[in-house]
Structure 1
Amino acid sequence: MTGSHRAPSRLPRVSRRVVAAVSTAVIASAAAPLLATSAAAAPVPRTNPNGTISAPGRTQISFEHTLTGFHAGTANEHESRPGLSIVKMYIADYVFTHGTPEEKAQATQMLRTSDDRIASQLYAKYPQSINATASAYGLRDTHGAAHWGNSTTSTADSVKYLEAKKRQNPADPVLVALATASPVAADGYAQNFGTSTLPGVIGTKWGWSDDRRSFHASASYGHDFSVAAATHGPAAQLTHDVQSAFAPGGHIPAPPALPTPFGSAGIPMMNYPARQVVDQQVGHIAPPVTDPLVALVPEYVPMPQPVADFLPQPR
Protein backbone atom coordinates (compact mmCIF):
# COMPACT_ATOMS: atom_id res chain seq x y z
CA MET A 1 0.00 0.00 0.00
CA THR A 2 1.18 3.56 -0.49
CA GLY A 3 0.00 4.77 2.91
CA SER A 4 -2.10 7.78 3.81
CA HIS A 5 -0.71 11.30 4.08
CA ARG A 6 -2.08 12.06 7.52
CA ALA A 7 0.39 12.97 10.25
CA PRO A 8 2.11 9.96 11.81
CA SER A 9 0.97 8.94 15.26
CA ARG A 10 2.91 7.19 17.99
CA LEU A 11 2.11 3.68 19.07
CA PRO A 12 0.66 3.34 22.58
CA ARG A 13 3.26 2.41 25.22
CA VAL A 14 1.67 -0.99 25.92
CA SER A 15 1.58 -1.84 22.21
CA ARG A 16 5.28 -1.14 21.92
CA ARG A 17 6.09 -3.63 24.66
CA VAL A 18 3.90 -6.24 22.97
CA VAL A 19 5.51 -5.61 19.59
CA ALA A 20 8.99 -5.92 21.08
CA ALA A 21 8.17 -9.20 22.81
CA VAL A 22 6.48 -10.70 19.78
CA SER A 23 9.26 -9.59 17.44
CA THR A 24 11.95 -11.13 19.62
CA ALA A 25 10.11 -14.43 19.74
CA VAL A 26 9.48 -14.36 16.00
CA ILE A 27 13.12 -13.75 15.12
CA ALA A 28 14.32 -16.50 17.45
CA SER A 29 11.89 -19.08 16.08
CA ALA A 30 12.24 -18.16 12.43
CA ALA A 31 16.02 -17.96 12.14
CA ALA A 32 16.54 -21.73 12.23
CA PRO A 33 14.28 -22.56 9.24
CA LEU A 34 15.94 -19.86 7.19
CA LEU A 35 19.29 -21.52 7.70
CA ALA A 36 18.01 -24.92 6.57
CA THR A 37 19.56 -26.31 3.42
CA SER A 38 16.58 -28.24 2.05
CA ALA A 39 13.89 -26.38 0.10
CA ALA A 40 11.64 -26.74 -2.92
CA ALA A 41 13.32 -26.28 -6.29
CA ALA A 42 13.46 -22.74 -7.62
CA PRO A 43 10.83 -21.72 -10.18
CA VAL A 44 12.13 -21.36 -13.73
CA PRO A 45 11.28 -18.27 -15.80
CA ARG A 46 9.93 -18.59 -19.33
CA THR A 47 12.24 -16.52 -21.51
CA ASN A 48 12.03 -15.04 -24.97
CA PRO A 49 14.71 -15.77 -27.59
CA ASN A 50 16.52 -12.62 -26.45
CA GLY A 51 16.68 -13.95 -22.89
CA THR A 52 14.10 -11.64 -21.32
CA ILE A 53 11.18 -12.98 -19.26
CA SER A 54 7.96 -13.22 -21.22
CA ALA A 55 5.22 -11.02 -19.70
CA PRO A 56 2.79 -8.29 -20.78
CA GLY A 57 4.20 -4.75 -20.81
CA ARG A 58 1.96 -3.81 -17.89
CA THR A 59 4.01 -6.13 -15.71
CA GLN A 60 7.63 -6.03 -14.59
CA ILE A 61 9.39 -9.18 -13.34
CA SER A 62 12.93 -9.99 -12.19
CA PHE A 63 14.44 -13.30 -11.08
CA GLU A 64 17.86 -14.46 -9.86
CA HIS A 65 19.10 -17.93 -9.02
CA THR A 66 21.35 -17.79 -5.98
CA LEU A 67 23.57 -20.80 -6.64
CA THR A 68 24.46 -20.06 -10.27
CA GLY A 69 24.00 -16.29 -10.48
CA PHE A 70 21.58 -16.78 -13.38
CA HIS A 71 19.46 -13.62 -13.78
CA ALA A 72 16.47 -12.96 -16.00
CA GLY A 73 13.99 -10.13 -16.18
CA THR A 74 11.40 -8.51 -18.37
CA ALA A 75 12.70 -5.89 -20.78
CA ASN A 76 11.33 -3.22 -18.43
CA GLU A 77 12.78 -4.65 -15.19
CA HIS A 78 14.80 -1.48 -14.51
CA GLU A 79 11.83 0.84 -14.94
CA SER A 80 11.46 2.86 -11.71
CA ARG A 81 7.83 2.32 -10.70
CA PRO A 82 5.75 3.16 -7.59
CA GLY A 83 7.52 1.57 -4.64
CA LEU A 84 4.37 1.14 -2.56
CA SER A 85 5.10 -0.89 0.58
CA ILE A 86 8.03 -2.65 -1.09
CA VAL A 87 10.20 0.29 0.04
CA LYS A 88 9.41 -0.59 3.66
CA MET A 89 12.21 -3.16 3.28
CA TYR A 90 14.65 -0.30 2.71
CA ILE A 91 13.30 1.75 5.62
CA ALA A 92 13.52 -1.27 7.92
CA ASP A 93 17.04 -2.08 6.74
CA TYR A 94 18.22 1.35 7.87
CA VAL A 95 16.34 1.16 11.16
CA PHE A 96 17.80 -2.27 11.96
CA THR A 97 21.24 -0.67 11.70
CA HIS A 98 20.65 2.76 13.20
CA GLY A 99 17.46 2.56 15.26
CA THR A 100 16.75 1.95 18.92
CA PRO A 101 15.64 -1.50 20.12
CA GLU A 102 12.08 -0.20 20.25
CA GLU A 103 12.28 1.10 16.68
CA LYS A 104 13.74 -2.18 15.48
CA ALA A 105 10.77 -4.00 16.97
CA GLN A 106 8.47 -1.57 15.20
CA ALA A 107 10.32 -2.17 11.92
CA THR A 108 9.71 -5.91 12.24
CA GLN A 109 6.02 -5.31 12.83
CA MET A 110 5.91 -2.89 9.89
CA LEU A 111 7.28 -5.54 7.53
CA ARG A 112 5.11 -8.37 8.83
CA THR A 113 1.81 -6.47 8.68
CA SER A 114 2.74 -3.74 6.18
CA ASP A 115 1.75 -1.12 8.74
CA ASP A 116 1.56 2.37 7.18
CA ARG A 117 1.38 4.14 10.54
CA ILE A 118 4.70 2.66 11.67
CA ALA A 119 6.25 3.37 8.26
CA SER A 120 5.26 7.05 8.51
CA GLN A 121 6.59 7.26 12.05
CA LEU A 122 9.96 5.68 11.20
CA TYR A 123 10.36 7.59 7.93
CA ALA A 124 9.63 10.87 9.72
CA LYS A 125 12.63 10.19 11.96
CA TYR A 126 14.82 8.62 9.24
CA PRO A 127 13.87 10.41 5.97
CA GLN A 128 17.24 9.39 4.52
CA SER A 129 16.58 5.68 5.04
CA ILE A 130 15.37 4.73 1.54
CA ASN A 131 18.09 6.61 -0.32
CA ALA A 132 20.77 5.46 2.12
CA THR A 133 19.80 1.81 1.65
CA ALA A 134 19.64 2.28 -2.12
CA SER A 135 23.16 3.70 -2.09
CA ALA A 136 24.49 0.94 0.16
CA TYR A 137 23.20 -1.85 -2.09
CA GLY A 138 23.61 -0.18 -5.47
CA LEU A 139 19.87 0.08 -6.13
CA ARG A 140 20.01 2.51 -9.03
CA ASP A 141 16.28 2.50 -9.80
CA THR A 142 15.24 3.30 -6.21
CA HIS A 143 14.51 6.88 -5.18
CA GLY A 144 13.10 8.16 -1.90
CA ALA A 145 10.46 10.89 -1.74
CA ALA A 146 9.16 13.34 0.86
CA HIS A 147 6.47 10.77 1.72
CA TRP A 148 7.70 7.18 1.75
CA GLY A 149 4.64 6.01 -0.20
CA ASN A 150 5.63 8.17 -3.17
CA SER A 151 9.08 6.59 -3.47
CA THR A 152 9.98 4.46 -6.48
CA THR A 153 11.88 1.25 -7.08
CA SER A 154 12.13 -1.57 -9.61
CA THR A 155 11.83 -5.33 -9.52
CA ALA A 156 15.50 -5.55 -10.52
CA ASP A 157 16.42 -3.57 -7.41
CA SER A 158 14.16 -5.66 -5.15
CA VAL A 159 15.82 -8.88 -6.34
CA LYS A 160 19.32 -7.40 -6.07
CA TYR A 161 18.56 -6.32 -2.51
CA LEU A 162 17.11 -9.66 -1.38
CA GLU A 163 19.99 -11.62 -2.87
CA ALA A 164 22.49 -9.36 -1.08
CA LYS A 165 20.70 -9.84 2.24
CA LYS A 166 20.76 -13.63 1.80
CA ARG A 167 24.49 -13.63 1.06
CA GLN A 168 25.30 -11.38 4.02
CA ASN A 169 23.15 -13.16 6.61
CA PRO A 170 20.36 -15.71 5.94
CA ALA A 171 18.88 -14.83 9.34
CA ASP A 172 18.87 -11.07 8.72
CA PRO A 173 15.91 -9.43 10.52
CA VAL A 174 14.48 -8.19 7.22
CA LEU A 175 14.39 -11.74 5.84
CA VAL A 176 12.99 -13.12 9.08
CA ALA A 177 10.19 -10.56 9.10
CA LEU A 178 9.24 -11.40 5.50
CA ALA A 179 9.27 -15.11 6.33
CA THR A 180 6.82 -14.54 9.17
CA ALA A 181 4.50 -12.10 7.43
CA SER A 182 0.89 -11.96 8.57
CA PRO A 183 -1.73 -13.43 6.20
CA VAL A 184 -3.67 -10.18 6.56
CA ALA A 185 -2.10 -6.71 6.60
CA ALA A 186 -2.73 -4.01 9.19
CA ASP A 187 -5.33 -2.42 6.91
CA GLY A 188 -7.17 -5.72 6.41
CA TYR A 189 -5.79 -6.53 2.93
CA ALA A 190 -4.88 -10.17 2.17
CA GLN A 191 -1.16 -10.75 1.66
CA ASN A 192 -1.34 -13.75 -0.66
CA PHE A 193 -0.72 -12.68 -4.25
CA GLY A 194 1.97 -12.28 -6.87
CA THR A 195 5.37 -13.90 -6.37
CA SER A 196 4.37 -15.47 -3.04
CA THR A 197 2.36 -18.03 -5.03
CA LEU A 198 5.47 -19.51 -6.66
CA PRO A 199 6.91 -22.80 -5.34
CA GLY A 200 9.79 -22.59 -2.88
CA VAL A 201 9.03 -19.09 -1.59
CA ILE A 202 10.06 -18.52 2.04
CA GLY A 203 9.28 -14.85 2.59
CA THR A 204 7.51 -12.00 0.79
CA LYS A 205 6.88 -8.27 0.96
CA TRP A 206 3.73 -7.09 -0.79
CA GLY A 207 2.55 -3.66 -1.90
CA TRP A 208 -0.70 -2.21 -3.26
CA SER A 209 -2.12 1.16 -4.20
CA ASP A 210 -4.58 2.90 -1.88
CA ASP A 211 -7.48 2.14 -4.25
CA ARG A 212 -6.49 -1.56 -4.17
CA ARG A 213 -6.81 -1.82 -7.94
CA SER A 214 -4.43 0.38 -9.92
CA PHE A 215 -1.04 -1.05 -8.87
CA HIS A 216 0.27 -4.16 -7.09
CA ALA A 217 3.76 -5.49 -6.39
CA SER A 218 5.53 -8.24 -4.48
CA ALA A 219 9.10 -9.30 -3.76
CA SER A 220 9.91 -12.82 -2.54
CA TYR A 221 12.88 -15.00 -1.76
CA GLY A 222 13.47 -18.72 -1.45
CA HIS A 223 16.47 -20.77 -0.40
CA ASP A 224 18.07 -20.54 -3.84
CA PHE A 225 16.33 -17.66 -5.61
CA SER A 226 14.77 -14.21 -5.34
CA VAL A 227 11.93 -12.90 -7.51
CA ALA A 228 9.93 -9.68 -7.73
CA ALA A 229 7.02 -8.46 -9.83
CA ALA A 230 4.90 -5.33 -10.23
CA THR A 231 1.89 -4.60 -12.41
CA HIS A 232 -0.45 -1.78 -13.35
CA GLY A 233 -3.61 -3.54 -12.22
CA PRO A 234 -5.23 -5.67 -9.49
CA ALA A 235 -3.71 -8.41 -7.36
CA ALA A 236 -5.26 -11.21 -9.42
CA GLN A 237 -3.62 -9.81 -12.55
CA LEU A 238 -0.21 -9.78 -10.90
CA THR A 239 -0.66 -13.39 -9.79
CA HIS A 240 -1.76 -14.43 -13.28
CA ASP A 241 1.18 -12.72 -14.98
CA VAL A 242 3.67 -14.18 -12.49
CA GLN A 243 2.28 -17.69 -12.81
CA SER A 244 2.34 -17.41 -16.62
CA ALA A 245 5.97 -16.25 -16.59
CA PHE A 246 7.34 -19.36 -14.88
CA ALA A 247 7.41 -22.88 -16.26
CA PRO A 248 6.84 -26.04 -14.21
CA GLY A 249 9.57 -28.65 -14.41
CA GLY A 250 12.14 -26.42 -16.09
CA HIS A 251 15.84 -26.17 -15.36
CA ILE A 252 17.95 -23.17 -14.38
CA PRO A 253 20.79 -22.68 -16.89
CA ALA A 254 24.04 -23.88 -15.35
CA PRO A 255 27.25 -21.82 -15.31
CA PRO A 256 29.68 -22.58 -18.13
CA ALA A 257 31.32 -25.98 -17.82
CA LEU A 258 34.58 -25.99 -15.91
CA PRO A 259 37.78 -26.96 -17.68
CA THR A 260 39.75 -30.03 -16.66
CA PRO A 261 41.63 -29.85 -13.34
CA PHE A 262 44.40 -27.28 -13.26
CA GLY A 263 47.79 -28.79 -14.00
CA SER A 264 49.04 -32.23 -13.11
CA ALA A 265 48.33 -31.67 -9.41
CA GLY A 266 44.58 -31.67 -10.12
CA ILE A 267 43.96 -28.39 -8.28
CA PRO A 268 40.17 -27.81 -8.15
CA MET A 269 38.73 -25.16 -10.44
CA MET A 270 35.72 -22.90 -9.99
CA ASN A 271 33.65 -20.46 -12.06
CA TYR A 272 34.40 -17.16 -10.35
CA PRO A 273 31.42 -14.71 -10.69
CA ALA A 274 33.61 -11.92 -12.00
CA ARG A 275 30.93 -9.57 -13.35
CA GLN A 276 28.89 -9.71 -10.15
CA VAL A 277 31.92 -8.93 -7.99
CA VAL A 278 33.10 -6.08 -10.21
CA ASP A 279 29.60 -4.58 -10.26
CA GLN A 280 29.45 -4.67 -6.46
CA GLN A 281 32.92 -3.15 -6.14
CA VAL A 282 32.70 -0.26 -8.63
CA GLY A 283 29.28 -0.27 -10.29
CA HIS A 284 27.80 2.28 -7.89
CA ILE A 285 30.56 4.89 -8.33
CA ALA A 286 29.36 6.49 -11.58
CA PRO A 287 26.74 4.28 -13.29
CA PRO A 288 26.76 6.13 -16.66
CA VAL A 289 30.48 5.34 -16.91
CA THR A 290 30.82 2.12 -14.95
CA ASP A 291 27.76 0.25 -16.26
CA PRO A 292 29.15 -0.18 -19.81
CA LEU A 293 32.50 -1.24 -18.37
CA VAL A 294 30.94 -3.79 -16.02
CA ALA A 295 29.01 -5.23 -18.97
CA LEU A 296 32.33 -6.03 -20.66
CA VAL A 297 33.46 -8.24 -17.78
CA PRO A 298 32.76 -11.97 -18.37
CA GLU A 299 29.94 -13.30 -16.21
CA TYR A 300 32.15 -16.21 -15.06
CA VAL A 301 35.94 -16.63 -15.16
CA PRO A 302 37.30 -20.17 -14.66
CA MET A 303 40.23 -20.17 -12.25
CA PRO A 304 41.94 -22.36 -9.64
CA GLN A 305 40.04 -22.45 -6.38
CA PRO A 306 43.05 -21.23 -4.29
CA VAL A 307 43.30 -18.13 -6.48
CA ALA A 308 39.58 -17.42 -6.28
CA ASP A 309 39.69 -17.68 -2.48
CA PHE A 310 42.03 -14.67 -2.34
CA LEU A 311 39.79 -12.49 -4.56
CA PRO A 312 36.77 -10.46 -3.36
CA GLN A 313 33.68 -12.58 -2.92
CA PRO A 314 30.07 -11.71 -3.82
CA ARG A 315 28.20 -9.91 -1.06
Structure 2
Amino acid sequence: MTAKIFAAAAALMAIVLGPPSAWAAPTPIPAPDGTVSAPARTQISFASLSGVRTGTANEHQSRTAMSIVKLYLAEHVVRLGDPADRDAAVEMIRSSDDGIAERLHAKYPGAIGTTIAEFGLIDTRTSGYWGSATTSTYDMVTYLDTKIRTDPGSPVLAAMASAHERAADGTAQDFGTARLPGVIGTKLGWTDDHGSAHASASFGTDFVVAASTYGSAEQLSSDVTAAFTDGRAAPPPVEPLCIPTVPPLCVPGTGTTIP
Protein backbone atom coordinates (compact mmCIF):
# COMPACT_ATOMS: atom_id res chain seq x y z
CA MET A 1 0.00 0.00 0.00
CA THR A 2 2.78 2.45 0.88
CA ALA A 3 4.41 1.90 -2.50
CA LYS A 4 1.14 2.75 -4.27
CA ILE A 5 0.68 5.87 -2.16
CA PHE A 6 4.16 7.12 -2.99
CA ALA A 7 3.87 6.26 -6.65
CA ALA A 8 0.84 8.54 -6.69
CA ALA A 9 2.71 11.17 -4.65
CA ALA A 10 5.64 11.06 -7.05
CA ALA A 11 3.30 11.54 -10.00
CA LEU A 12 1.74 14.49 -8.21
CA MET A 13 5.18 16.01 -7.60
CA ALA A 14 5.89 15.87 -11.32
CA ILE A 15 2.73 17.88 -11.91
CA VAL A 16 3.38 20.34 -9.07
CA LEU A 17 6.92 20.94 -10.31
CA GLY A 18 5.78 21.51 -13.85
CA PRO A 19 5.26 25.15 -14.89
CA PRO A 20 7.13 27.35 -12.36
CA SER A 21 5.09 29.77 -10.28
CA ALA A 22 6.46 33.28 -10.78
CA TRP A 23 5.47 34.35 -7.29
CA ALA A 24 6.65 31.33 -5.32
CA ALA A 25 10.32 31.97 -4.59
CA PRO A 26 11.79 34.03 -1.75
CA THR A 27 14.56 36.47 -2.66
CA PRO A 28 18.01 36.32 -0.97
CA ILE A 29 19.21 39.56 0.63
CA PRO A 30 22.74 40.30 -0.64
CA ALA A 31 25.63 41.34 1.58
CA PRO A 32 27.89 44.19 0.34
CA ASP A 33 30.13 41.65 -1.41
CA GLY A 34 27.18 40.10 -3.26
CA THR A 35 26.93 36.94 -1.17
CA VAL A 36 23.88 36.08 0.95
CA SER A 37 23.89 37.91 4.26
CA ALA A 38 23.95 35.71 7.39
CA PRO A 39 25.89 35.37 10.67
CA ALA A 40 29.15 33.42 10.49
CA ARG A 41 27.57 30.51 12.40
CA THR A 42 25.22 29.90 9.47
CA GLN A 43 25.73 28.89 5.84
CA ILE A 44 22.99 29.27 3.23
CA SER A 45 22.75 28.32 -0.45
CA PHE A 46 20.00 29.13 -2.95
CA ALA A 47 19.26 28.30 -6.59
CA SER A 48 16.32 29.07 -8.84
CA LEU A 49 15.23 27.15 -11.90
CA SER A 50 15.80 30.32 -13.90
CA GLY A 51 19.52 29.88 -13.30
CA VAL A 52 20.18 32.21 -10.35
CA ARG A 53 22.56 30.67 -7.83
CA THR A 54 23.99 32.32 -4.74
CA GLY A 55 24.98 31.65 -1.15
CA THR A 56 26.84 32.85 1.89
CA ALA A 57 30.60 33.26 1.65
CA ASN A 58 31.00 30.05 3.67
CA GLU A 59 28.57 27.91 1.67
CA HIS A 60 31.30 25.41 0.73
CA GLN A 61 32.21 24.56 4.34
CA SER A 62 31.79 20.82 4.84
CA ARG A 63 29.90 20.58 8.10
CA THR A 64 28.22 17.72 9.91
CA ALA A 65 25.51 16.44 7.60
CA MET A 66 23.27 15.10 10.37
CA SER A 67 20.09 13.64 8.88
CA ILE A 68 20.46 15.56 5.61
CA VAL A 69 22.72 12.69 4.52
CA LYS A 70 19.64 10.46 4.53
CA LEU A 71 18.71 12.13 1.24
CA TYR A 72 21.91 10.81 -0.33
CA LEU A 73 21.32 7.35 1.13
CA ALA A 74 17.68 7.24 0.02
CA GLU A 75 18.64 8.41 -3.47
CA HIS A 76 20.61 5.24 -4.05
CA VAL A 77 18.08 2.89 -2.45
CA VAL A 78 14.96 4.11 -4.26
CA ARG A 79 16.62 3.93 -7.68
CA LEU A 80 19.21 1.19 -7.44
CA GLY A 81 18.41 -0.83 -4.34
CA ASP A 82 16.19 -3.82 -3.68
CA PRO A 83 12.54 -2.83 -4.40
CA ALA A 84 11.66 -4.29 -1.02
CA ASP A 85 13.71 -1.53 0.64
CA ARG A 86 12.20 1.44 -1.18
CA ASP A 87 9.29 2.00 1.18
CA ALA A 88 11.72 2.01 4.10
CA ALA A 89 13.89 4.60 2.35
CA VAL A 90 10.86 6.83 1.82
CA GLU A 91 9.79 6.49 5.45
CA MET A 92 13.35 7.29 6.54
CA ILE A 93 12.98 10.68 4.84
CA ARG A 94 9.46 11.36 6.09
CA SER A 95 10.23 10.54 9.73
CA SER A 96 14.03 11.03 9.77
CA ASP A 97 14.26 7.59 11.34
CA ASP A 98 17.80 6.74 12.47
CA GLY A 99 16.97 3.07 12.90
CA ILE A 100 16.03 2.77 9.23
CA ALA A 101 19.18 4.65 8.27
CA GLU A 102 21.28 2.17 10.26
CA ARG A 103 19.70 -0.81 8.49
CA LEU A 104 19.91 0.65 5.00
CA HIS A 105 23.48 1.85 5.38
CA ALA A 106 24.51 -1.58 6.64
CA LYS A 107 22.97 -3.16 3.54
CA TYR A 108 24.21 -0.47 1.11
CA PRO A 109 27.51 0.78 2.58
CA GLY A 110 28.52 2.39 -0.70
CA ALA A 111 25.23 4.21 -1.30
CA ILE A 112 26.24 7.64 -0.05
CA GLY A 113 29.54 7.51 -1.94
CA THR A 114 27.67 6.60 -5.12
CA THR A 115 25.40 9.62 -4.76
CA ILE A 116 28.38 11.89 -4.07
CA ALA A 117 30.02 10.77 -7.31
CA GLU A 118 26.86 10.82 -9.42
CA PHE A 119 25.77 14.31 -8.40
CA GLY A 120 29.22 15.87 -8.15
CA LEU A 121 28.90 16.75 -4.46
CA ILE A 122 32.28 18.41 -4.09
CA ASP A 123 32.09 19.24 -0.39
CA THR A 124 30.56 15.98 0.90
CA ARG A 125 32.65 13.42 2.76
CA THR A 126 31.68 9.97 4.02
CA SER A 127 33.37 7.35 6.17
CA GLY A 128 32.29 4.00 7.51
CA TYR A 129 29.27 5.37 9.34
CA TRP A 130 26.42 7.40 7.83
CA GLY A 131 26.09 9.58 10.93
CA SER A 132 29.64 10.91 10.60
CA ALA A 133 29.22 12.23 7.04
CA THR A 134 29.78 15.90 6.30
CA THR A 135 28.29 18.06 3.58
CA SER A 136 27.70 21.69 2.66
CA THR A 137 24.63 23.70 1.83
CA TYR A 138 26.15 24.14 -1.63
CA ASP A 139 26.01 20.37 -2.13
CA MET A 140 22.50 20.11 -0.67
CA VAL A 141 21.30 22.61 -3.26
CA THR A 142 23.25 20.88 -6.05
CA TYR A 143 21.54 17.60 -5.23
CA LEU A 144 18.00 19.00 -5.00
CA ASP A 145 18.39 21.27 -8.01
CA THR A 146 19.49 18.30 -10.10
CA LYS A 147 16.58 16.17 -8.86
CA ILE A 148 13.96 18.80 -9.67
CA ARG A 149 15.38 19.34 -13.15
CA THR A 150 15.90 15.71 -14.08
CA ASP A 151 13.64 13.58 -11.88
CA PRO A 152 10.72 15.64 -10.51
CA GLY A 153 8.68 12.49 -9.89
CA SER A 154 11.29 11.09 -7.50
CA PRO A 155 9.93 9.36 -4.38
CA VAL A 156 12.66 11.23 -2.46
CA LEU A 157 11.04 14.57 -3.34
CA ALA A 158 7.60 13.16 -2.64
CA ALA A 159 8.78 12.01 0.79
CA MET A 160 10.12 15.48 1.57
CA ALA A 161 6.78 16.97 0.57
CA SER A 162 4.88 14.61 2.87
CA ALA A 163 7.17 14.63 5.91
CA HIS A 164 5.54 13.87 9.23
CA GLU A 165 4.90 16.79 11.58
CA ARG A 166 7.22 15.12 14.08
CA ALA A 167 10.24 12.93 13.46
CA ALA A 168 10.69 9.45 14.84
CA ASP A 169 12.44 10.92 17.90
CA GLY A 170 9.67 13.47 18.48
CA THR A 171 11.41 16.52 16.97
CA ALA A 172 9.06 19.02 15.32
CA GLN A 173 9.90 19.17 11.61
CA ASP A 174 9.08 22.81 10.97
CA PHE A 175 12.22 24.93 11.25
CA GLY A 176 14.86 26.56 9.07
CA THR A 177 14.15 26.75 5.36
CA ALA A 178 10.80 25.01 5.93
CA ARG A 179 9.49 28.41 7.06
CA LEU A 180 10.23 30.23 3.81
CA PRO A 181 7.33 31.12 1.48
CA GLY A 182 6.68 28.77 -1.40
CA VAL A 183 8.38 25.73 0.17
CA ILE A 184 6.80 22.41 -0.83
CA GLY A 185 9.13 19.87 0.76
CA THR A 186 11.92 19.83 3.35
CA LYS A 187 14.46 17.50 4.94
CA LEU A 188 15.74 18.56 8.33
CA GLY A 189 18.76 17.59 10.41
CA TRP A 190 19.82 18.08 14.02
CA THR A 191 22.46 16.81 16.42
CA ASP A 192 21.58 14.36 19.16
CA ASP A 193 21.83 17.09 21.80
CA HIS A 194 19.26 19.19 19.87
CA GLY A 195 21.40 22.29 20.29
CA SER A 196 24.86 22.09 18.73
CA ALA A 197 23.83 22.20 15.08
CA HIS A 198 20.77 22.15 12.82
CA ALA A 199 20.28 22.02 9.07
CA SER A 200 17.49 22.06 6.50
CA ALA A 201 17.12 21.65 2.75
CA SER A 202 13.92 22.63 0.93
CA PHE A 203 12.44 23.02 -2.54
CA GLY A 204 9.57 24.93 -4.09
CA THR A 205 8.16 24.93 -7.61
CA ASP A 206 11.02 27.01 -8.95
CA PHE A 207 13.77 27.13 -6.32
CA VAL A 208 15.83 25.11 -3.86
CA VAL A 209 17.42 26.39 -0.68
CA ALA A 210 19.52 24.93 2.13
CA ALA A 211 20.89 26.19 5.43
CA SER A 212 23.04 24.91 8.27
CA THR A 213 23.94 26.53 11.57
CA TYR A 214 25.98 25.91 14.67
CA GLY A 215 23.09 26.51 17.04
CA SER A 216 19.45 25.77 17.80
CA ALA A 217 16.52 25.21 15.49
CA GLU A 218 15.19 28.66 16.30
CA GLN A 219 18.57 30.25 15.55
CA LEU A 220 18.55 28.55 12.16
CA SER A 221 15.00 29.73 11.50
CA SER A 222 15.87 33.27 12.54
CA ASP A 223 18.99 33.42 10.37
CA VAL A 224 17.18 31.98 7.36
CA THR A 225 14.14 34.23 7.51
CA ALA A 226 16.39 37.27 8.01
CA ALA A 227 18.38 36.34 4.89
CA PHE A 228 15.39 36.45 2.53
CA THR A 229 12.68 38.83 1.54
CA ASP A 230 9.29 37.59 0.50
CA GLY A 231 9.96 37.95 -3.20
CA ARG A 232 6.51 36.94 -4.31
CA ALA A 233 4.84 39.25 -6.75
CA ALA A 234 1.16 39.89 -6.27
CA PRO A 235 -0.89 37.05 -7.75
CA PRO A 236 -2.79 37.87 -10.93
CA PRO A 237 -6.16 39.54 -10.44
CA VAL A 238 -9.10 37.18 -10.26
CA GLU A 239 -12.09 37.93 -12.38
CA PRO A 240 -15.21 38.13 -10.22
CA LEU A 241 -17.64 35.28 -10.49
CA CYS A 242 -20.93 36.60 -11.85
CA ILE A 243 -24.13 34.78 -11.17
CA PRO A 244 -26.72 35.18 -13.96
CA THR A 245 -29.31 37.24 -12.17
CA VAL A 246 -30.92 40.55 -12.98
CA PRO A 247 -28.87 42.57 -12.26
CA PRO A 248 -25.82 40.21 -12.26
CA LEU A 249 -24.55 39.31 -8.77
CA CYS A 250 -20.74 39.22 -8.69
CA VAL A 251 -18.61 37.74 -5.91
CA PRO A 252 -14.94 38.77 -6.36
CA GLY A 253 -12.64 35.75 -6.45
CA THR A 254 -14.66 33.50 -4.17
CA GLY A 255 -15.95 30.96 -6.65
CA THR A 256 -19.04 30.78 -4.48
CA THR A 257 -22.31 29.97 -6.20
CA ILE A 258 -25.18 31.97 -4.77
CA PRO A 259 -28.60 30.43 -5.27
TM-score, normalised with respect to structure 2: 0.85
Q: Do the aligned partners of 2:13 and 2:153 also contact (CA within 8 Å) in 1?
A: no
Query: 2 CA distance for matches of 1:224 and 1:167?
Result: 10
TM-superposed deviation, 1:38: 5.9
Gaps in structure 2 of 5+ consecutive residues: 234-259
Kindly report the root-mean-square deviation, in angstroms, between the aligned alpha carbons of the 2 structures. 1.4
Counterpart of 2:4 (choices 4, 24, 37) is 24
Query: 2 CA distance for matches of 1:42 and 1:131?
Result: 31
Q: 2:185 is paired with a residue of what secondary structure?
A: strand
Percent identity between matched residues is: 51
Counterpart of 1:174 (choices 131, 134, 156) is 156
Confirm or deny that 1:63 pairs with 2:46: yes
Q: 1:183 is paired with a residue of what secondary structure?
A: coil
TM-score, normalised with respect to structure 1: 0.71
Number of residues paired by the alignment?
Answer: 230
Counterpart of 1:113 (choices 84, 88, 95) is 95
Kindly provide the CA deviation profile for residues 166-223 of structure 1, in whole angstroms up to 9, marking residues without a partner as x. Answer: 1112111111111111111011111000001001111100000000111000000011
Query: 2 CA distance for matches of 1:23 and 1:44?
Result: 36
| Aligned equivalent of 1:235 | 217
TM-superposed deviation, 1:26: 3.1
Q: Do the aligned partners of 1:213 and 1:235 also contact (CA within 8 Å) in 2?
A: yes
Q: Do the aligned partners of 1:27 and 1:177 also contact (CA within 8 Å) in 2?
A: no
Counterpart of 2:35 (choices 42, 49, 52) is 52
Structure 1 residues 34 and 150, CA gap change in structure 2 (3 angstroms): same
Q: Do the aligned partners of 2:13 and 2:158 also contact (CA within 8 Å) in 1?
A: no
Segments ≥4 residues shifted beyond 6 Å: none
Q: 1:139 is paired with a residue of what secondary structure?
A: coil
Query: 2 CA distance for matches of 1:176 and 1:33?
Result: 6
Amino acid of the residue matched to residue 8 of structure 2?
A: A
Query: 1 CA distance for matches of 2:12 and 2:231?
Result: 28
| Aligned equivalent of 1:14 | none
Amino acid of the residue matched to residue 24 of structure 1?
A: K
Amino acid of the residue matched to residue 44 of structure 2?
A: I
TM-superposed deviation, 1:24: 2.6
Which structure exhibits the higher relative contact order, with contacts defined as CA atoms closer than 8 Å and separated by 6 or more residues?
2
Q: 1:41 is paired with a residue of what secondary structure?
A: coil
Gaps in structure 1 of 5+ consecutive residues: 1-20, 252-315
Counterpart of 1:184 (choices 166, 169, 172) is 166
| Aligned equivalent of 2:59 | 77
Q: 1:60 is paired with a residue of what secondary structure?
A: strand
Amino acid of the residue matched to residue 31 of structure 1?
A: A
